[in-house]
Structure 1
């Protein structure tokens, strides 16, 4: 199959350092040269050179982190999905984490403009000894009449397999209508943030610490944190702005990195 954008990256451990051992990209997707956040943590920035996603676009990203290697992956800017009434936009991301590997994925916001249709499937195949950290943000884009929810449909599925067994299946489906501002839907909030962390040391105690740390955000957002199978947690937040969600994610990351790895939170520099 020919994709609008295709990316394949493999990271391995060489002489006590995580290095990019193989990379290939085609179409409108490209990556920067790696920079190192810590002594052993390369950061790659994904670049979309086409300016935005349009009707009929298809994307595939494959990332393999080999045994004991580490990688941080981010985006250069927000992903903009424009009018796509016929075929929509489809994106698949596959992440493979071998034992004792670590993968940190932090994406800029996904902006859905009027009449946009977007489908994303994220598949994670990981060892129970690996670490997987992931965040994304979804927000409605500008429309001529100023309405918020003018995109047609957004589907995002996350499947996490741990030691070959499906442990997490999260399905976010939004088809905007007048009910999005009612109870049990978005309740008037416009932005949605999602975070996953799978780590051998995640416990209910860590979740309680996160809830305490984030308590001061309750006046301007709504969030929930849950323990998932095999030492993991998920957080979902509703808010009115991207910067607020990013601030919540940053505070979570700071606490988690300190508690679990005894490290400072990552500095996601943009090139």
Structure 2
């Protein structure tokens, strides 16, 4: 991809783009189907077939990423008993954006349903300003898998933690009660990011909530809890319980590749839940 002087792909119109998407999943017999899949540019939705019982959707963005002024919104509804996966075709690239870019996701997961949110990492280029918000409402008996990864940017090009502002807000509620309400903020105005983040080039959160994930939570909590503490390790992990049926996994890695590999290893149980492997069958 050829980039212009401001770090944006050539040919992309540098104007405000408001893209929105609406997704609805429902169970029909033993399988989940996509009842609604509507998107407006620059968002695109792909709904590939798979061999399992779950429905899969992959997002992509026209122009190869977010440019200055973009504001994307995604609304998701997962009906009772349905199983849905939302992922992406590649990393979310955020280009130089003095006015900033925003991405907002709202999801409602009904009783007995499972939603898996597993996009590729967010990559902010030099001068990028990006704000992300994810809000998930869980009904009783609903389950959620969420993976949220951010990388240092184009480290090989000398653009390591060189963005202007990054914030990520994550809220998960069940029956109106907050299970998780947190906000990450990375801003060089609070101190140079490369020095503050040291050897780490990628940060991530993996969240498991609900009865469909009981066995996976128990196994992961035991696995991460047993990892040795090694000075100057290239990967640092932690696991924390979240209420009676939740687990929050954190990781900081010295490379984006190591973080992605670790997160996918943590989620190696997904093919069993979905009936097919989302990592090998890309959209």
Which segments of structure 1 move beyond 6 Å, counting only runs of 4 or more?
A: none
In 1: Cα distance, 2:230 partner to 2:78 partner: 34
**What residue in structure 1 maps to residue 44 of structure 2?**
30
Instruction: Provide the aligned length of Structure 1 versus Structure 2.
Output: 263
Q: What 5-or-longer segments of structure 2 have no aligned partner?
A: 1-15
Q: How does 1:38-57 map to 2 (within 5 A)?
A: 38=52, 40-57=53-70
Kindly indicate whether residue 146 of structure 2 is the aligned counterpart of residue 134 of structure 1: yes
- The 3 A distance-change label for structure 1 pair 212 and 31 is same
1:174 aligned onto 2:186: yes
How far the C-alpha of 1:128 sits from its partner, in A, is: 3.1
**1:131, 1:199 within 8 Å by CA — same for their partners in 2?**
yes
Secondary structure, counterpart of 2:265 in structure 1: helix
Report Cα offsets for 1:91-149 as digits up to 9, x if no partner.
Answer: 11001100000111111111111111100110000123111001121112238982512
Do residues 64 (structure 1) and 77 (structure 2) align? yes
Distance 1:23 1:144, change over 3 A: closer
After TM superposition, give the deviation of residue 166 of structure 1 in Å: 1.4
Q: CA RMSD in A?
A: 2.7
CA distance in 1, matches of 2:267, 2:47: 24
Describe how 1:68-107 pairs up with structure 2 within 5 A. Answer: 68-85=81-98, 87-107=99-119
TM-score, normalised to structure 2, is 0.83
Alpha-carbon distance in 1 for matches of 2:226, 2:268? 11
Per-residue CA deviation, residues 20-76 of structure 1 (Å, 9 max, x unaligned), is 1112111111111332252x1121111212221111110000110000001111100
More off after superposition, 75-84 vs 204-213: 204-213
Distance 1:192 1:34 in 2: 29
Q: For the Cα contact (< 8 Å) 1:37–1:43, is it kept in 2? A: no
| In 1, Cα distance between equivalents of 2:101 and 2:74 | 14
Q: Is the 8 A contact 2:152 2:161 kept in 1?
A: yes
8 Å Cα contact 1:37-1:267 kept in structure 2: no
Q: Tell me, yes or no, if the aligned pair for 1:186 and 1:238 is still in contact at 8 Å.
A: no
For 2:207, the equivalent position in structure 1 comes to 196
Do the aligned residues in 2 keep the contact of 1:104 with 1:132 (CA within 8 Å)? yes
Greater strand content: 1
Q: Hey, what does 1:231 align to over in structure 2?
A: 245
The alignment status of 1:108 with 2:150, answered yes or no, reads: no
